[in-house]
Amino acid sequence: MKFLIATHNQKKKQELQRILLPLGIEIKTADDLNINLSEVDETGTTFEENALLKAKSGCEESGLPTIADDSGLCVDSLGGAPGVYSARYAGEHGNDDKNITKLLEALKDVDEKDRTARFVCAACCAFPDGTQITVRGECEGIIAFERKGNGGFGYDPVFLVGDNSFGEISADEKDKISHRSKALGALADELRRKI
């Protein structure tokens, strides 16, 4: 079965493919299908609302079941910020370096014990028949005092789980514990019941 993944982020696409491929789902992007998807205004106040907006839009425009996610970092001492604004925390959408710099600056006087955070991922699949599935996954960690590792993307170099950041572990290791893998695992369970 062919599904559209509503993302332009190639690293996210690769991560989604690794997790969903065992279901026998043929994963395509808009580029793969030579279609232009409209940019969706992420006006939701929750990850779930934003994921649904993107999935519904992609499904309506492509005619294919569409998977979209919205994810971000929630830092307890910052009242849950950057939250749904994670990708544009420093003002420029998708500038990982500026976002990390702003985050580290905001936490510069915060003790290690108070640097708790979680990555959150809401994943949604919208179907042409109007049905939808929405799930959520979380991964608890703490924010490092400085970047560690060059792997991953987004806030991975400053998000510590145990002694290592997401920027230091392999993709396989990350897939076992990440918020996205938990959400997509839950989505896969729901999809098995539907398809």
Active site residues: 70
165 dihedral zone (left: phi>0; alpha: psi -120 to 50; beta): beta
Tell me the C-alpha distance between 143 and 25, whole Å: 35
Q: Which residues contact 105 (CB under 8 A, 6 or more apart)?
A: none
CB 136 within 8 A of CB 183: yes
DSSP at 77: G
Residue whose token pair is 């299908």: 33
Phi then psi for 51, rounded to 5 degrees?
Answer: -60, -40
Element housing 54 (H / E): helix 47-62
